[in-house]
Amino acid sequence: MEDIKEFLAPRMSRFKPSASQMASARVRELVAEGRDIVKLTAGEPDFPTPDHAKAAALEVMARNEIRYTPINGTLEMRTAAQTKFRRDNNLDYELTQLTVGSGTKQVLFNALMATVGHGDEVIVPGPYWTSYPDMVQLAGGTPVFVPTEQNHQFKMRAEELDRAITKSTKWLMFSSPSNPTGATYDAEELRSIADVLLDHPHVHVLTDDVYEHLIYDGRTFHTLASLEPRLYERTITCNGVSKAYSMTGWRVGFAGGPAALITNLSKMQSQSTAGVSAVSQAAAIAVLEGPQGFVAERTANLQHRRDILYQFLNQAEGLSCTLPEGAMYIFCSCAGTIGKRTPDGTVIENDTDFTMYLLDSVGVAVVQGEAYGHSPYFRASFVAPEEDLHKGGQLIVEACAALN
């Protein structure tokens, strides 16, 4: 191909160069060279798929029920999502108000593709999950970022949301707990966001609740459509089995919302991937309808690992972080390292330099804040074996002490 850029559709130029992919490429290079790298980059829990989910998948295979499935999800799967929303969120959706996709990511993508076009604005609180702005831009819309601050636990204040809303605002894309910060809104904080939304009836809410069950220190999860029933008619509530049940590879997500909107999410699904695999849906039904006790045990284990990594990061010279309230990441400031010199004399100018320094000098991989639209920070995942958290944490402390 002579000039690939000429050949590609204009929409491909709307993707931002991915900072996190650049970092992963460097990790792969070092591993190929035989370096021992401590990876604090995982974006998925490391527990096994629950046995009852695997058994349900095997049963479907044994019965040979592996055909095309309904575009909006099997009746049993939508019933399981209905049960889950009622049980966990006090949200009542008819079966016609539910749809299923290949992961939460696909239902979010379907929602944006079905509703957003040129001139539409989508509010994205920052730091954000890298996919949000890319998806908005791919749909032809404009992401409007609302940066948040570490000293406010990376939570958007009501007045900041209010200021970002214009006549063109179509959606608020909202996620609590958040990736990368773990920010988890309590009822009062969410109430203040809901009050702003009530003043702007044209703004709809796309809420990504995928980290619902990864929430620490006895906190309670809240979601907008149930906290403020007057928002129910303009909210799509998205969730999935990836994080709660450690089932990322099964690719099952689902959404509840107004039937007229949900039908159009399914329409989008029909001309992309069609119905989700029958095997995956069977596994998802089993976990959504089965016993829930193990979820809290897993969360307690993650909280313990969070505490290990947090202790190290907060002792490191030049770093500062707040204890994340949810999700699986510590979003840590490296502002105190900027302008310092590494032992070989290189000046650390930004968070990419800092993360590359960690990788090259002590072999610890984290992701620079730039990838999430917020510098100078980095994201360290605490989904790693405890010995790696101790080793990686200690190496970060040593690397920071070697700067001057």
Ligand X SMILES: Cc1ncc(COP(=O)(O)O)c(C=O)c1O
Interface positions with ligand X (CB under 6 A): 43, 103-105, 129, 175, 179, 208, 210, 240, 242, 248, 253
Q: Which is nearer to ligand X, 237 or 337 (CB)?
A: 237
Angle value at C-alpha 250, between 383 and 222, nearest 5 degrees: 65
- Least separation in angstroms between CB 134 and ligand X: 13
Q: 221: alpha, beta or left, given left = phi > 0 and alpha = psi -120 to 50?
A: beta
CB 326 to ligand X: min, Å: 11
CB of 110 to ligand X, least distance (A): 12
Q: How far is the CB of 340 from ligand X (least distance, A)?
A: 31
Q: Name which of 318 and 373 has its Cβ closer to ligand X.
A: 373
Considering the complex, state which of residue 265 and residue 348 has its C-beta at the smaller distance from ligand X. 265
Q: Which residues pair with 172 in a beta bridge?
A: 123, 205
Query: Tokens 């309670």 correspond to what residue?
Result: 220
Query: Cβ atoms within 10 A of the Cβ of 395, count?
Result: 17
- Is the bond preceding residue 343 a cis peptide, omega within 30 degrees? no
List the one residue out of 11, 219, 250, 207 whose CA is nearest residue 111.
207
Amino acid symbol at 40: L
Residues 6+ positions from 218 with CB-CB distance below 8 Å = none
Q: Which is nearer to ligand X, 78 or 105 (CB)?
A: 105
- DSSP-assigned beta bridge partners for residue 347: 341
Cis-peptide into 180, omega within 30 deg: yes
In which region does residue 226 sit, left (phi positive, over 0), alpha (psi from -120 to 50) or beta (all else)?
alpha
Smaller CB separation from ligand X, 105 or 298: 105
The label of the residue with tokens 């390292």 reads 337
Q: How far is the CB of 133 from ligand X (least distance, A)?
A: 13
Q: How far is the CB of 1 from ligand X (least distance, A)?
A: 31
Work out the number of other CB atoms within 10 angstroms of the CB of residue 55. 12
If the CB atoms of residues 355 and 381 are measured against ligand X, the closer one turns out to be: 381
Q: What are the residues whose beta carbons fall under 8 Å from the beta carbon of 141, sequence distance 6 or more?
A: 112, 116, 117, 118, 119, 120, 121, 122, 170
Task: For residue 318, give both structure tokens.
Answer: 């030049």
Nearer to ligand X, 112 or 348 (CB): 112
Nearest residue (CB) to ligand X, 72 versus 242: 242
Q: Shortest distance, CB of residue 138 to ligand X, whole angstroms?
A: 16
Q: Which residue is nearest to ligand X (CB)?
A: 103
CB of 21 to ligand X, least distance (A): 14
